[in-house]
Structure 1
Amino acid sequence: MKKSKLFMGLGALALVGGLLVAADHIDAPGVTNTTADIADFYAFEPTEGSDNTVFAVDLQTNVLPDLAYGTFDENVLMEINIDRTGDLVEDLVIQAIPRNGKMYFFGPVVPSETGLNGTVMVDSPLGSVDISAETAILETTADGVSLFAGPRQDAFFFDFFQFNEVIGGTAPLGFKPAGDPNTSDDDDETAVDTFDGANTMSIVIEIPNSMLGETTAVNVLQLPVYKTWVTTNVKQ
Protein backbone atom coordinates (compact mmCIF):
# COMPACT_ATOMS: atom_id res chain seq x y z
CA MET A 1 0.00 0.00 0.00
CA LYS A 2 1.31 3.43 -0.86
CA LYS A 3 2.06 5.52 2.22
CA SER A 4 1.92 9.28 1.91
CA LYS A 5 1.52 12.43 3.97
CA LEU A 6 -0.08 15.68 2.87
CA PHE A 7 2.10 18.77 2.89
CA MET A 8 1.28 22.46 2.48
CA GLY A 9 3.62 24.55 0.29
CA LEU A 10 5.35 27.47 1.99
CA GLY A 11 7.87 28.78 -0.49
CA ALA A 12 9.26 28.47 -3.99
CA LEU A 13 12.35 29.68 -5.82
CA ALA A 14 12.53 29.40 -9.60
CA LEU A 15 15.47 28.68 -11.84
CA VAL A 16 15.46 28.27 -15.60
CA GLY A 17 18.32 26.05 -16.67
CA GLY A 18 21.66 26.74 -15.07
CA LEU A 19 21.31 30.48 -14.53
CA LEU A 20 20.19 31.74 -11.15
CA VAL A 21 17.40 34.27 -11.61
CA ALA A 22 16.28 34.79 -8.03
CA ALA A 23 17.57 34.63 -4.49
CA ASP A 24 15.70 34.72 -1.21
CA HIS A 25 17.91 35.30 1.82
CA ILE A 26 16.38 35.76 5.30
CA ASP A 27 13.41 37.75 4.00
CA ALA A 28 10.49 35.35 4.48
CA PRO A 29 9.23 36.07 8.05
CA GLY A 30 6.99 33.01 8.25
CA VAL A 31 9.84 30.54 7.70
CA THR A 32 13.01 32.40 8.80
CA ASN A 33 15.46 30.25 10.77
CA THR A 34 13.93 27.01 9.53
CA THR A 35 14.83 24.75 6.61
CA ALA A 36 11.53 25.74 5.00
CA ASP A 37 13.31 29.01 4.09
CA ILE A 38 14.80 28.68 0.60
CA ALA A 39 17.97 30.72 0.05
CA ASP A 40 19.22 29.65 -3.41
CA PHE A 41 18.73 26.96 -6.01
CA TYR A 42 21.40 25.99 -8.54
CA ALA A 43 21.33 23.54 -11.46
CA PHE A 44 24.40 22.88 -13.61
CA GLU A 45 26.58 20.32 -15.37
CA PRO A 46 29.39 19.16 -13.06
CA THR A 47 31.83 19.29 -15.99
CA GLU A 48 31.49 20.53 -19.56
CA GLY A 49 29.76 17.96 -21.72
CA SER A 50 28.76 15.82 -18.73
CA ASP A 51 25.75 13.51 -18.99
CA ASN A 52 24.79 14.39 -15.40
CA THR A 53 22.98 17.34 -13.83
CA VAL A 54 23.64 18.70 -10.33
CA PHE A 55 20.81 20.20 -8.30
CA ALA A 56 21.86 22.16 -5.20
CA VAL A 57 19.27 23.57 -2.80
CA ASP A 58 20.45 25.96 -0.07
CA LEU A 59 18.14 26.44 2.90
CA GLN A 60 18.15 28.47 6.12
CA THR A 61 20.92 30.92 5.32
CA ASN A 62 23.00 32.72 7.96
CA VAL A 63 23.70 29.64 10.08
CA LEU A 64 26.97 31.17 11.26
CA PRO A 65 29.95 28.85 11.87
CA ASP A 66 30.46 30.06 15.45
CA LEU A 67 26.95 28.85 16.31
CA ALA A 68 25.69 25.29 16.47
CA TYR A 69 24.99 23.87 13.05
CA GLY A 70 21.40 24.11 11.94
CA THR A 71 19.24 21.03 11.55
CA PHE A 72 16.79 19.86 8.94
CA ASP A 73 13.19 20.04 10.14
CA GLU A 74 11.56 16.61 9.85
CA ASN A 75 8.22 18.30 9.06
CA VAL A 76 9.63 19.94 5.92
CA LEU A 77 9.55 18.20 2.53
CA MET A 78 11.89 19.64 -0.12
CA GLU A 79 10.85 19.13 -3.72
CA ILE A 80 12.72 19.81 -6.97
CA ASN A 81 10.20 20.28 -9.77
CA ILE A 82 10.97 19.71 -13.47
CA ASP A 83 8.74 20.96 -16.29
CA ARG A 84 9.14 18.95 -19.49
CA THR A 85 6.27 20.42 -21.54
CA GLY A 86 6.75 24.18 -21.22
CA ASP A 87 3.54 24.86 -19.27
CA LEU A 88 5.34 25.64 -15.98
CA VAL A 89 3.64 22.70 -14.28
CA GLU A 90 5.89 20.01 -12.83
CA ASP A 91 6.03 16.77 -14.84
CA LEU A 92 8.72 15.16 -12.67
CA VAL A 93 9.64 15.71 -9.02
CA ILE A 94 12.59 14.77 -6.84
CA GLN A 95 11.81 14.87 -3.13
CA ALA A 96 13.93 14.92 0.02
CA ILE A 97 12.86 14.56 3.64
CA PRO A 98 14.97 14.00 6.81
CA ARG A 99 14.41 11.28 9.36
CA ASN A 100 16.61 10.41 12.36
CA GLY A 101 19.87 11.82 11.03
CA LYS A 102 19.44 10.68 7.42
CA MET A 103 18.09 12.44 4.33
CA TYR A 104 15.83 10.26 2.19
CA PHE A 105 15.38 11.02 -1.51
CA PHE A 106 12.56 9.92 -3.83
CA GLY A 107 12.00 10.18 -7.59
CA PRO A 108 12.37 11.43 -10.21
CA VAL A 109 8.72 10.48 -10.64
CA VAL A 110 5.50 11.87 -12.10
CA PRO A 111 3.72 13.54 -9.14
CA SER A 112 0.32 12.34 -8.03
CA GLU A 113 -0.64 16.01 -7.47
CA THR A 114 0.84 19.21 -8.88
CA GLY A 115 1.11 22.62 -7.29
CA LEU A 116 1.86 23.39 -3.66
CA ASN A 117 -0.01 20.43 -2.20
CA GLY A 118 1.62 17.07 -2.75
CA THR A 119 2.43 13.70 -1.28
CA VAL A 120 5.70 12.01 -0.40
CA MET A 121 6.44 9.45 -3.12
CA VAL A 122 7.69 6.79 -0.72
CA ASP A 123 7.10 4.10 -3.34
CA SER A 124 9.81 5.68 -5.56
CA PRO A 125 12.99 5.60 -3.44
CA LEU A 126 16.07 7.20 -4.96
CA GLY A 127 18.51 6.72 -2.08
CA SER A 128 19.56 8.11 1.28
CA VAL A 129 22.60 9.67 2.93
CA ASP A 130 23.66 10.41 6.51
CA ILE A 131 23.27 14.11 7.24
CA SER A 132 26.75 15.63 7.46
CA ALA A 133 28.10 17.72 10.32
CA GLU A 134 31.75 18.86 10.38
CA THR A 135 32.79 16.16 7.86
CA ALA A 136 31.03 15.91 4.50
CA ILE A 137 29.39 12.56 3.74
CA LEU A 138 28.62 11.63 0.13
CA GLU A 139 26.59 8.60 -0.91
CA THR A 140 26.50 7.22 -4.49
CA THR A 141 23.75 4.80 -5.43
CA ALA A 142 23.92 1.83 -7.79
CA ASP A 143 22.19 4.04 -10.40
CA GLY A 144 25.06 6.54 -10.32
CA VAL A 145 23.18 9.18 -8.27
CA SER A 146 25.32 11.08 -5.75
CA LEU A 147 23.61 12.52 -2.65
CA PHE A 148 24.60 15.00 0.06
CA ALA A 149 22.79 16.77 2.89
CA GLY A 150 24.28 19.05 5.54
CA PRO A 151 25.82 22.47 6.20
CA ARG A 152 27.81 24.19 3.47
CA GLN A 153 29.29 27.67 3.19
CA ASP A 154 26.84 30.04 1.54
CA ALA A 155 27.94 30.48 -2.09
CA PHE A 156 25.84 33.62 -2.61
CA PHE A 157 27.92 36.85 -2.92
CA PHE A 158 26.06 39.98 -1.86
CA ASP A 159 27.08 43.27 -0.24
CA PHE A 160 23.98 43.92 1.85
CA PHE A 161 25.18 47.23 3.30
CA GLN A 162 26.21 48.64 -0.08
CA PHE A 163 22.83 47.51 -1.43
CA ASN A 164 21.08 49.53 1.28
CA GLU A 165 23.18 52.57 0.37
CA VAL A 166 22.28 52.21 -3.31
CA ILE A 167 18.57 51.88 -2.47
CA GLY A 168 18.82 54.82 -0.08
CA GLY A 169 20.68 56.98 -2.61
CA THR A 170 23.77 57.36 -0.42
CA ALA A 171 26.22 55.11 -2.30
CA PRO A 172 29.39 56.81 -3.64
CA LEU A 173 28.94 57.81 -7.28
CA GLY A 174 32.26 56.21 -8.23
CA PHE A 175 31.61 52.87 -6.57
CA LYS A 176 32.48 49.82 -8.65
CA PRO A 177 32.07 46.20 -7.53
CA ALA A 178 35.12 44.13 -6.63
CA GLY A 179 36.48 42.30 -9.65
CA ASP A 180 35.68 45.08 -12.12
CA PRO A 181 38.82 45.64 -14.30
CA ASN A 182 38.40 49.38 -13.78
CA THR A 183 38.18 49.08 -10.00
CA SER A 184 40.95 50.59 -7.87
CA ASP A 185 42.35 48.97 -4.74
CA ASP A 186 40.36 51.46 -2.68
CA ASP A 187 37.15 50.48 -4.45
CA ASP A 188 37.88 46.79 -3.86
CA GLU A 189 38.02 47.44 -0.14
CA THR A 190 34.49 48.91 -0.14
CA ALA A 191 32.87 45.74 -1.51
CA VAL A 192 32.18 43.26 1.29
CA ASP A 193 30.52 39.86 0.95
CA THR A 194 27.93 39.98 3.74
CA PHE A 195 27.46 36.21 3.52
CA ASP A 196 31.18 35.37 3.76
CA GLY A 197 31.53 32.86 6.58
CA ALA A 198 27.81 32.13 6.76
CA ASN A 199 26.46 28.64 6.21
CA THR A 200 23.35 27.19 4.67
CA MET A 201 21.74 23.81 5.19
CA SER A 202 22.07 22.20 1.76
CA ILE A 203 20.89 19.21 -0.20
CA VAL A 204 22.82 18.28 -3.35
CA ILE A 205 21.92 15.68 -5.97
CA GLU A 206 24.03 14.71 -8.98
CA ILE A 207 21.85 12.60 -11.25
CA PRO A 208 22.29 11.08 -14.74
CA ASN A 209 20.31 12.96 -17.38
CA SER A 210 18.98 9.60 -18.58
CA MET A 211 16.80 9.56 -15.45
CA LEU A 212 15.39 13.00 -16.28
CA GLY A 213 14.79 12.58 -20.01
CA GLU A 214 15.68 14.96 -22.81
CA THR A 215 16.03 18.66 -22.05
CA THR A 216 13.08 20.72 -23.25
CA ALA A 217 14.29 24.32 -22.92
CA VAL A 218 17.25 26.58 -23.73
CA ASN A 219 18.84 29.22 -21.51
CA VAL A 220 20.02 32.71 -22.47
CA LEU A 221 23.25 31.19 -23.80
CA GLN A 222 21.16 28.96 -26.06
CA LEU A 223 22.28 25.85 -24.22
CA PRO A 224 19.82 22.99 -23.66
CA VAL A 225 18.57 22.95 -20.06
CA TYR A 226 15.85 21.64 -17.80
CA LYS A 227 13.18 24.08 -16.66
CA THR A 228 13.16 23.57 -12.91
CA TRP A 229 12.29 25.13 -9.57
CA VAL A 230 12.23 24.14 -5.91
CA THR A 231 9.57 24.28 -3.22
CA THR A 232 9.49 23.55 0.50
CA ASN A 233 6.37 22.10 2.05
CA VAL A 234 5.39 21.78 5.71
CA LYS A 235 3.27 18.92 7.01
CA GLN A 236 -0.27 19.91 7.96
Structure 2
Amino acid sequence: MKKTKLLLGLGFLAAAGIILIAADHIDAPSSMGTTADIADFYGFEPSEGSDNTVFVVDLQTNVVPDLAYGSFDETVLTEINIDTDGDLVEDLVIQAIPREGRMYFFGPVAPSKTGLDSEVLVDSPLGSVEISGTTAIKSTTANGVTLFAGPRQDSFFFDFFQFNAVIGGMAPGGFKTSEEAVDTFEGKNNMSIVVEMPNSLLGTPTGQNALGLAVYKTWVTTNKKQ
Protein backbone atom coordinates (compact mmCIF):
# COMPACT_ATOMS: atom_id res chain seq x y z
CA MET A 1 0.00 0.00 0.00
CA LYS A 2 1.61 3.24 -1.15
CA LYS A 3 1.21 6.22 1.14
CA THR A 4 2.69 9.70 1.19
CA LYS A 5 3.55 11.25 4.54
CA LEU A 6 2.60 14.87 5.02
CA LEU A 7 3.15 17.36 7.81
CA LEU A 8 0.44 19.59 9.24
CA GLY A 9 0.41 23.09 7.80
CA LEU A 10 -2.66 24.69 9.37
CA GLY A 11 -5.60 23.60 11.47
CA PHE A 12 -8.95 25.39 11.60
CA LEU A 13 -11.83 24.25 13.79
CA ALA A 14 -15.49 24.67 12.91
CA ALA A 15 -18.75 22.86 13.56
CA ALA A 16 -20.84 22.20 10.47
CA GLY A 17 -24.60 22.63 10.75
CA ILE A 18 -27.52 23.85 8.69
CA ILE A 19 -25.12 26.63 7.82
CA LEU A 20 -22.03 27.82 9.60
CA ILE A 21 -19.49 30.16 8.06
CA ALA A 22 -16.07 31.14 9.31
CA ALA A 23 -13.31 33.27 7.81
CA ASP A 24 -9.60 33.09 8.43
CA HIS A 25 -7.94 35.15 5.72
CA ILE A 26 -4.12 35.33 5.47
CA ASP A 27 -3.46 35.48 9.19
CA ALA A 28 -2.23 32.05 10.33
CA PRO A 29 1.51 32.39 11.09
CA SER A 30 2.48 28.91 9.87
CA SER A 31 0.89 29.29 6.44
CA MET A 32 0.24 32.99 5.80
CA GLY A 33 1.18 33.91 2.28
CA THR A 34 1.49 30.29 1.12
CA THR A 35 -0.59 27.99 -1.06
CA ALA A 36 -1.60 26.10 2.12
CA ASP A 37 -3.43 29.10 3.58
CA ILE A 38 -7.05 28.31 4.48
CA ALA A 39 -9.33 31.26 3.80
CA ASP A 40 -12.75 29.80 4.72
CA PHE A 41 -14.47 26.56 5.69
CA TYR A 42 -18.23 26.08 5.24
CA GLY A 43 -20.49 23.17 6.12
CA PHE A 44 -24.23 23.18 5.40
CA GLU A 45 -27.28 21.35 4.12
CA PRO A 46 -27.98 22.30 0.48
CA SER A 47 -31.66 22.69 1.40
CA GLU A 48 -33.74 22.34 4.56
CA GLY A 49 -34.33 18.71 5.39
CA SER A 50 -31.81 17.46 2.84
CA ASP A 51 -30.08 14.13 3.43
CA ASN A 52 -26.84 15.58 2.08
CA THR A 53 -24.07 17.73 3.56
CA VAL A 54 -21.89 20.15 1.60
CA PHE A 55 -18.32 20.96 2.62
CA VAL A 56 -16.53 23.93 1.04
CA VAL A 57 -12.85 24.67 1.64
CA ASP A 58 -11.46 27.95 0.26
CA LEU A 59 -7.68 27.98 -0.04
CA GLN A 60 -5.53 31.05 -0.63
CA THR A 61 -7.02 34.43 -1.39
CA ASN A 62 -5.67 37.14 -3.68
CA VAL A 63 -6.81 40.04 -1.52
CA VAL A 64 -3.68 42.02 -2.38
CA PRO A 65 -1.62 41.81 -5.60
CA ASP A 66 1.32 39.85 -4.16
CA LEU A 67 -1.06 37.03 -3.14
CA ALA A 68 -2.50 36.50 -6.62
CA TYR A 69 -2.47 32.70 -6.65
CA GLY A 70 -4.15 30.92 -9.49
CA SER A 71 -3.69 27.18 -9.07
CA PHE A 72 -3.65 24.38 -6.53
CA ASP A 73 -0.34 23.24 -5.07
CA GLU A 74 0.44 19.56 -5.74
CA THR A 75 2.45 19.37 -2.50
CA VAL A 76 -0.56 20.35 -0.35
CA LEU A 77 -3.10 17.81 0.92
CA THR A 78 -6.44 19.24 2.09
CA GLU A 79 -8.20 17.16 4.73
CA ILE A 80 -11.75 17.55 6.07
CA ASN A 81 -11.82 15.96 9.52
CA ILE A 82 -15.06 14.65 11.05
CA ASP A 83 -15.59 13.67 14.69
CA THR A 84 -18.35 11.06 15.03
CA ASP A 85 -18.17 10.30 18.77
CA GLY A 86 -17.83 13.75 20.37
CA ASP A 87 -14.21 13.57 21.53
CA LEU A 88 -12.91 16.16 19.01
CA VAL A 89 -10.56 13.62 17.45
CA GLU A 90 -11.09 12.84 13.78
CA ASP A 91 -12.88 9.54 13.18
CA LEU A 92 -13.42 10.08 9.46
CA VAL A 93 -11.46 12.13 6.93
CA ILE A 94 -12.13 13.32 3.40
CA GLN A 95 -8.93 14.14 1.53
CA ALA A 96 -8.23 16.12 -1.64
CA ILE A 97 -4.95 16.46 -3.51
CA PRO A 98 -4.29 17.80 -7.03
CA ARG A 99 -2.37 16.01 -9.76
CA GLU A 100 -1.86 17.20 -13.34
CA GLY A 101 -5.06 19.20 -13.68
CA ARG A 102 -7.35 16.98 -11.64
CA MET A 103 -8.35 16.98 -7.96
CA TYR A 104 -8.39 13.49 -6.45
CA PHE A 105 -10.56 12.74 -3.42
CA PHE A 106 -10.31 9.94 -0.83
CA GLY A 107 -12.61 8.83 2.01
CA PRO A 108 -14.70 9.32 4.01
CA VAL A 109 -12.77 6.72 5.98
CA ALA A 110 -11.01 6.34 9.32
CA PRO A 111 -7.52 7.87 9.06
CA SER A 112 -4.44 5.73 9.49
CA LYS A 113 -3.24 8.26 12.08
CA THR A 114 -4.73 11.26 13.86
CA GLY A 115 -3.25 14.55 14.98
CA LEU A 116 -0.42 16.46 13.33
CA ASP A 117 0.58 14.02 10.56
CA SER A 118 -1.50 12.63 7.70
CA GLU A 119 -1.09 10.04 4.99
CA VAL A 120 -2.83 10.02 1.62
CA LEU A 121 -5.38 7.22 1.84
CA VAL A 122 -4.91 5.92 -1.69
CA ASP A 123 -6.73 2.67 -0.89
CA SER A 124 -9.99 4.60 -0.30
CA PRO A 125 -10.66 6.56 -3.52
CA LEU A 126 -13.79 8.70 -3.56
CA GLY A 127 -13.51 10.12 -7.06
CA SER A 128 -11.86 12.90 -9.02
CA VAL A 129 -12.79 15.97 -11.01
CA GLU A 130 -11.06 18.11 -13.59
CA ILE A 131 -9.90 21.36 -11.99
CA SER A 132 -12.12 24.13 -13.36
CA GLY A 133 -10.96 27.25 -15.12
CA THR A 134 -13.34 29.97 -16.26
CA THR A 135 -16.08 27.35 -16.73
CA ALA A 136 -17.20 25.38 -13.68
CA ILE A 137 -16.85 21.61 -13.97
CA LYS A 138 -18.30 19.14 -11.48
CA SER A 139 -18.33 15.38 -11.21
CA THR A 140 -20.85 13.06 -9.54
CA THR A 141 -19.83 9.59 -8.38
CA ALA A 142 -21.86 6.39 -8.44
CA ASN A 143 -22.66 6.74 -4.72
CA GLY A 144 -24.09 10.23 -5.11
CA VAL A 145 -21.08 12.36 -4.17
CA THR A 146 -20.61 15.60 -6.14
CA LEU A 147 -17.10 17.07 -6.47
CA PHE A 148 -15.71 20.44 -7.59
CA ALA A 149 -12.31 22.13 -7.51
CA GLY A 150 -11.35 25.48 -8.99
CA PRO A 151 -11.45 29.27 -8.57
CA ARG A 152 -14.55 30.89 -7.10
CA GLN A 153 -15.14 34.56 -6.31
CA ASP A 154 -14.64 35.46 -2.66
CA SER A 155 -18.04 35.71 -0.99
CA PHE A 156 -17.24 38.29 1.69
CA PHE A 157 -17.78 42.07 1.63
CA PHE A 158 -15.00 43.54 3.76
CA ASP A 159 -13.05 46.80 3.68
CA PHE A 160 -9.71 45.20 4.51
CA PHE A 161 -7.55 48.31 4.38
CA GLN A 162 -9.94 50.47 6.42
CA PHE A 163 -10.11 47.70 9.00
CA ASN A 164 -6.31 47.69 9.30
CA ALA A 165 -6.30 51.48 9.58
CA VAL A 166 -8.83 51.36 12.41
CA ILE A 167 -7.05 48.70 14.46
CA GLY A 168 -3.74 50.47 13.81
CA GLY A 169 -5.05 53.77 15.17
CA MET A 170 -4.73 55.48 11.79
CA ALA A 171 -8.43 56.10 11.19
CA PRO A 172 -9.77 58.48 13.87
CA GLY A 173 -13.14 58.54 12.12
CA GLY A 174 -13.53 54.79 12.58
CA PHE A 175 -15.19 52.51 10.10
CA LYS A 176 -16.81 53.85 6.92
CA THR A 177 -20.52 53.64 6.23
CA SER A 178 -21.77 50.89 3.95
CA GLU A 179 -22.06 53.46 1.15
CA GLU A 180 -18.44 54.64 1.59
CA ALA A 181 -16.76 51.30 2.30
CA VAL A 182 -14.77 49.58 -0.44
CA ASP A 183 -15.13 45.82 -0.90
CA THR A 184 -11.52 44.67 -0.96
CA PHE A 185 -12.62 41.18 -2.00
CA GLU A 186 -14.56 42.31 -5.07
CA GLY A 187 -13.37 40.35 -8.09
CA LYS A 188 -10.96 38.32 -5.98
CA ASN A 189 -10.87 34.53 -6.16
CA ASN A 190 -10.28 31.70 -3.74
CA MET A 191 -9.22 28.25 -4.86
CA SER A 192 -12.23 26.23 -3.75
CA ILE A 193 -12.72 22.54 -3.04
CA VAL A 194 -16.37 21.42 -2.75
CA VAL A 195 -17.74 18.03 -1.70
CA GLU A 196 -21.46 17.25 -1.41
CA MET A 197 -22.26 13.80 -0.08
CA PRO A 198 -25.10 11.77 1.44
CA ASN A 199 -25.15 11.84 5.23
CA SER A 200 -25.31 8.04 5.14
CA LEU A 201 -21.59 8.10 4.28
CA LEU A 202 -20.82 10.25 7.34
CA GLY A 203 -22.79 8.52 10.10
CA THR A 204 -25.03 10.13 12.70
CA PRO A 205 -24.24 13.76 13.70
CA THR A 206 -22.97 14.03 17.28
CA GLY A 207 -23.08 17.79 17.80
CA GLN A 208 -25.74 20.45 18.19
CA ASN A 209 -25.66 24.00 16.90
CA ALA A 210 -27.09 27.19 18.42
CA LEU A 211 -30.48 26.43 16.84
CA GLY A 212 -30.63 23.04 18.53
CA LEU A 213 -30.12 21.19 15.24
CA ALA A 214 -27.96 18.09 14.92
CA VAL A 215 -24.62 18.85 13.27
CA TYR A 216 -21.31 17.20 12.45
CA LYS A 217 -18.25 18.31 14.36
CA THR A 218 -15.76 19.00 11.62
CA TRP A 219 -12.63 20.99 10.85
CA VAL A 220 -10.19 21.27 7.97
CA THR A 221 -6.42 21.10 7.77
CA THR A 222 -3.88 21.61 5.03
CA ASN A 223 -0.82 19.39 5.08
CA LYS A 224 2.50 20.03 3.35
CA LYS A 225 4.56 17.20 1.89
CA GLN A 226 7.82 16.61 3.77
Per the normalisation by structure 1, the TM-score is: 0.87
What's the secondary structure of 2:220's corresponding residue?
strand
Measured after TM superposition, the shift of residue 194 of structure 1 is 1.4
Residue deviations 1:87-107 (CA, integer Å, cap 9, x gap): 111010000001111000000
Indicate whether 1:203 and 2:193 are aligned.
Answer: yes
Is contact 2:60–2:69 with CA below 8 Å preserved after alignment?
Answer: no
Matched, 1:60 2:50: no
Aligned to 1:79: 79
CA contact (8 A) 1:63 1:70 kept: no
Alignment of 1:85-234 (within 5 A): 85-169=85-169, 170-172=171-173, 187-234=177-224
> Partners in 2 of 1:168 and 1:63 — Cα distance?
19
- Helix, strand or coil for the counterpart of 1:61? coil
In the alignment, which residue of structure 1 is the partner of 2:40? 40
User: Is 1:157–1:193's contact at 8 Å kept on the other side of the alignment?
Assistant: yes
SS at 1:4's partner residue?
coil
**1:156 deviation in Å?**
2.5
Aligned partner of 2:31 in structure 1 is 31
Q: State the Cα RMSD in Å.
A: 2.1
Secondary structure in 1 matching 2:162:
helix
Whole-Å separation in 1 of the counterparts to 2:26 and 2:209? 28
1:64: how far off? 7.8
Measured after TM superposition, the shift of residue 164 of structure 1 is 2.3
SS of alignment partner, residue 224 of structure 2: strand
**What do the CA deviations read for 1:169-206 (whole angstroms, capped 9, x no partner)?**
53536x57xxxxxxxxxx33122221111101110000
Structure 1 consecutive aligned stretches of length 4 or more whose deviation exceeds 3 Å: 28-34, 168-173
1:141 and 1:171 mapped to 2: Cα distance?
55
Whichever of the two has the greater Rg, that structure is 1
CA contact (8 A) 2:156 2:185 kept: yes
Give 1:7's aligned amino acid: L
Indicate the SS of the match to 2:155: coil
How far did 1:24 drift?
A: 1.9
Separation in structure 2 between the aligned mates of residue 39 and residue 215 of structure 1, nearest angstrom? 25
Distance in 2, Cα, partners of 1:157 & 1:14: 22
SS at match of 1:189: coil
What letter is aligned with 1:214?
T
Identify which range, 52-61 or 24-33, moves more after superposition. Answer: 24-33
What residue identity is the alignment partner of 1:70?
A: G
Residue 163 (structure 1) shift: 1.8
- Work out whether residues 35 and 201 of structure 1, in 8 Å CA contact, stay in contact via their aligned partners in 2: no
Aligned residues of 1:13 and 1:40 also touching (Cα < 8 A): no
Match of 1:16 in 2: 15
CA distance in 1, matches of 2:35, 2:194: 14
Structure 1 residue 120: Cα displacement: 0.6
Q: CA deviation at 1:133?
A: 0.7
Measured after TM superposition, the shift of residue 63 of structure 1 is: 6.9
Count residues with an aligned counterpart.
222
**Structure 1's 168 and 226: CA in aligned 2 closer, same or farther, altered over 3 A?**
same
CA contact (8 A) 2:78 2:220 kept: yes
- The sequence identity of aligned pairs, in percent, is 69
Contact persistence 2:10–2:30 (CA under 8 A):
no
Give ranges in structure 2 of 5+ residues lacking alignment.
none
8 Å contact kept, 2:96–2:106: yes
